[in-house]
Amino acid sequence: MSKKEFRLNPSLLAAAAAGIMSGNAAAQEASIGTTPAEVVVTATRLPTLASRTPVAMSVVSGAQLVMEGSDSPAQLGKRLPNLHLDQAAEGLRITIRGVTNSDSTDKGDPSAAFLLDGVYIPRGPAQTFAFLDVDRIEVLRGPQGTLYGRNTTAGVINVISNAPTARFDASAGAEAGSFNSRKFNATVNVPVSPALALRAAVAGQRHDSYLHNAQGTPYELGLDRGERSARLSALLALGQDAALLVRYDHGRASENNDRFVPDTNFYDGISTGTPNWRAGSTDQRLTNAFRPPNTVPEQGYNEKRARGLGAQLEWKLGAATLTWLGSHRRFDQDMLVNYYYRVAPGFALGVHNLYTGKNQADSHELRVSTDAARALSGQAGLYYFSEESHTTYSFRGLQLLGLPPYYVFPSGPTKADSRAVFGQLTWRMTDRVRATAGARSTHDDKSRIGSTNFQLAAAFNPATDTRLLNAAQIETSKTTWRLGLDADIGASTLAWLSIATGYKAGGFNDGCAAGSTALGIGCPPAIAVPASTLFYQPETLRSIEIGSRTRLWDGRATVNAVAFDYDYTNLQLSGVAVLQGAPRFVTSNAGVASVKGLELDGTVQVLERGSLAWSLTLLDAHYDVYSPDGVRSWAGRKLDRAPSRVATLGYDHRFTLGGGQLTAGMFARASSEYVIAVPSQGLSYRIPSHTSTDLRLGWQPQGAPWSVLARVRNLEDKVRPIAIDSFGMTTPSDPRTVDLRVDYRF
């Protein structure tokens, strides 16, 4: 709801909510195929107009998500500059400007933070749930260490849901499409009293697998979907100067995590260490015909459950505003995956991976901010985050490697605690020029107790089985800072220059330090892991960014330009390596990397009924110093998912026809080639240049409460790898899909 709408409502609820909701002002469609409009965002943790916010970012509204059919994070990536969002088997993988991380285990951290209503969601599998009643999504590119904290070296994705408002509103929608796709969603907003409003939202969706099973079994494969979610929100006015917003959300997903095919579906020459892209139809690429020589695949499954309780209190104290944001979240997952597990060039095993995990996280932020219109304004705060996980990975089928029938990794508790103090000041040097300085001091404490078990049966038997200790603890600290200068050039252009640093916490791998003891297991020197292998150091970077935002022709067009230069140190990369005679998942520091590029995007209103949006990105992201095996140098090689050039073009047009409005739209994305590398195997997979096109056609009768929308996604029906792991398991992109949607507003 916009500030104007609140001012028009004289109720106590609207008056109190104006403050807490100023950051939730409805984002107008600000990207592909929409009319240029002003948008209120909270990228700086305070409500500002997007056109006056000196940060490289993109904003997508909830209405735009519905129009495009982007109902999950993985479907959003291709729409925005220098962003890859890929739903791999292990969860959501975020790549911004070529910077990513592949360690999705309970001990790993992402390079980009995924937030739901400002709350950090730490685990990749918990980030894959469908969008529910979204107001807008803000994507910030570049390090955000000062205001958002650790693990934001690549950037931030903040999904902001609709909050209750002071008027009754209800809507419902349903979809049906290819692969037996069906979806529904509904929302209702009820102002209970002048001081209280409630909002409820529910959604569900399902579609069959995109993959074809040629393994000779009757089982279904992955790339399917089955999900239900709900959210209940309450907004309570506490007098004229304070408001409390409380949200509870719950989501369940029942899917299949056998969502991959062998890399040989896309490449030849893997056995020689030089994968070469080969021709193939979409059906061939989406067919899993691997027949394991050692076992028979079982029916895979992936059961996920997420729930969270969050609260935001905003209290105006004269010249300052006090904000508290707190959250408690839980995530459970149980799955069975049938691995394609390459153990030697040209030879792979079938391995059954059974996983169970329970994760809970608590976070609190207390922040004080002053009016941004003052000559000297600022914000400062305290932050606390705590996470605890209990997981068990169990592998069956590795006997040909000399391992027992059950190769098991029970871990827990795995803990991560982070504490930070931060502040940022802005000085209005003149009416047009502002200088900003900020800093954040963060301290991270991580620990884990677990083991590597060699078992003859599903349950550990101390009489016949053996186990090695996995136990480590590491503390890392860093002060990140940001300096910025921004200026209004005329009435229509904002320009800025910023220098910022970022930090991602260090961590540990499997194993133990000599002399340590836990779970009744010792760690003698003969099996201890050297500190250089057991631990990896924090990832840090320095970023220089120059940008501008310009509105032209009385707001009928926008042009945004950003140039950036990163200097990365200790980039964290992950993969499988053999330690102590058994395969382990290892993260190491990649030395030094360089990232620089240019991002251009804009919108144009064409006549009265058309709107065009475009973008062009140029990117050079490569290693400066890196040797994955200590012998070969990868200096000069590109970082993963870092195409040198990407261009997008979208157009929408509205027609008055037959007593209603017909809307036609298209979106096209053209990408140059890029790579997905597996450093631990010395492999680099080239993804050729490609183009993807989406079409849509909508109809709404004049004055009618209902509308209908038809969509085609990936018109070319071409697929490509979006993730390739150390074993050769390749997750393909989605094929062409067609759907029809009906919406009704009460």
Out of 345-349, 438-442, 641-645, which region has the weakest mean confidence (pLDDT)? 345-349
Element (H, E) at 584: strand 582-589
Instruction: Give the C-alpha distances (Å, rounded to integers) separating 459 from 406, 413, 685.
Output: 9, 19, 39
650 or 574, which is more confident? 650
| Three-state secondary structure readout of 42-65 | CCCCCCEEHHHCCCCEEEEEHHHH
Q: How many CB atoms lie within 10 A of CB 504?
A: 30
Which comes out higher in pLDDT, residue 713 or 679?
A: 713
Over range 352-358, report the average pLDDT: 96
What are the tens digits of pLDDT across the range 198-238? 999 999 999 999 999 999 999 999 999 999 999 999 999 99
- Write b or e for each residue in 197-229: b if 16 or more Cβ atoms lie within 10 A of its Cβ, otherwise e: bebbbbbbbbbebbbebebeeeeebbbbbbbbb
Q: What is the pLDDT of residues 473-509, one digit of tens each?
A: 999 999 999 999 999 998 899 999 999 999 999 999 9
CA dihedral 636, 641, 645, 649 (to 10 degrees): -170
Tokens of 268: 């030849």
Give the pLDDT of residue 541.
92
Dist CA 524 CA 122 (whole Å): 34
pLDDT digits (tens, 9 = 90+) for 647-687: 999 999 999 988 899 999 999 999 999 999 988 888 999 99
The closest of 681, 586, 631, 666 to 275, measured between CA atoms, is: 681
Lowest mean pLDDT among 42-56, 247-261, 304-318: 42-56
Burial of 415 (0-12, 13-18, 19+ CB in 10 A): middle
What pLDDT is attached to residue 338? 96
Cα–Cα distance measured from residue 220 to residue 212, given in angstroms and rounded to the nearest whole number? 8
Read out DSSP for 674-693? Answer: EEEEEGGGTEEEEE--EEEE
Say whether pLDDT at 447 is over 80. yes
Of 478, 408, 417, nearest in space to 447 by CA? 417
Nearest to 77 by CA among 61, 59, 94: 94
Tokens of 411: 């871990």
CA–CA–CA angle 127, 133, 134 (5° rounding):
65
Measured distance CA(336)–CA(353) in Å, rounded? 6
pLDDT over 90 at 1, yes or no: no
pLDDT 10s digits, 406-423: 999 999 899 999 999 999
| 27-36, 305-314, 722-731: least confident range | 27-36
Residue 698 has pLDDT above 90, yes or no: yes
Q: Give the position of tokens 């090695």.
A: 468
Q: Round to whole Å and give the CA distance between 634 and 622.
A: 9
Q: What are phi and psi of 6, to 5 degrees?
A: -65, -40
Q: For position 445, what pLDDT does the model report?
A: 96
| Token code pair at residue 191 | 């102002």
- Does residue 52 carry a pLDDT above 70? yes
pLDDT band at 7 (very low <50, low <70, confident <90, very high): very low
Tokens of 51: 């056109």
pLDDT classification of 28: cutoffs 50, 70, 90 = very low
Cβ neighbours, 10 Å, residue 629: 11
**Residue 12, pLDDT score:** 52
pLDDT at residue 2, rounded to an integer:
36
Q: What is the rounded distance in angstroms from the CA atom of residue 148 to the CA atom of residue 140?
A: 11
**583 neighbors 92 (Cβ within 8 angstroms):** no
Residue 581: predicted pLDDT: 63
What would the 3-class secondary structure string for 626-680 be?
CCCCCCCCCCCCECCCCCCEEEEEEEEEEEEECCEEEEEEEEEEEECCEEEEEHH
Can you tell me which residue has the tokens 């030879």?
347
Q: How far apart are CA 266 and CA 719, in angstroms?
A: 10
pLDDT for residue 315: 96
User: Which domains, and CATH codes, for the chain?
Assistant: 3-745 (2.40.170.20)
Average pLDDT over residues 587-604: 92
151-182 pLDDT, tens digit per residue, is 999 999 999 999 999 999 999 999 999 999 99
Give residue 441's Cα distance to chain centre: 24
Per residue in 546-570, pLDDT tens? 999 999 988 899 999 999 999 989 8
Average pLDDT, the chain: 91
**Mean pLDDT for the stretch of residues 2-29:** 42
Read off the tokens for 350: 């079938």
Q: How confident is the model at residue 629 (pLDDT cuts 50, 70, 90)?
A: confident
Q: Label residue 627 by pLDDT band (50, 70, 90).
A: confident
Given a cut of 90, whether residue 110 has pLDDT beyond it is no
Q: Measure the CA–CA gap between 37 and 56, rounded to whole angstroms.
A: 18
Contact status, residue 135 vs residue 81, Cβ threshold 8 Å: no
Q: Which amino acid is at 361?
A: A
**pTM, two decimal places:** 0.92
Both tokens of residue 236? 């309570």
For the chain, what is the radius of gyration of the CA atoms? 26
Give the β-pairing of 660-671 and 592-606.
unpaired
- The confidence score (pLDDT) of residue 576 equals 74
The pLDDT of residue 29 is above 90: no
d(CA 634, CA 268): 22
| % pLDDT > 70, the chain | 94
Q: How many helices (H) and strands (E) does the chain have?
A: 5, 46
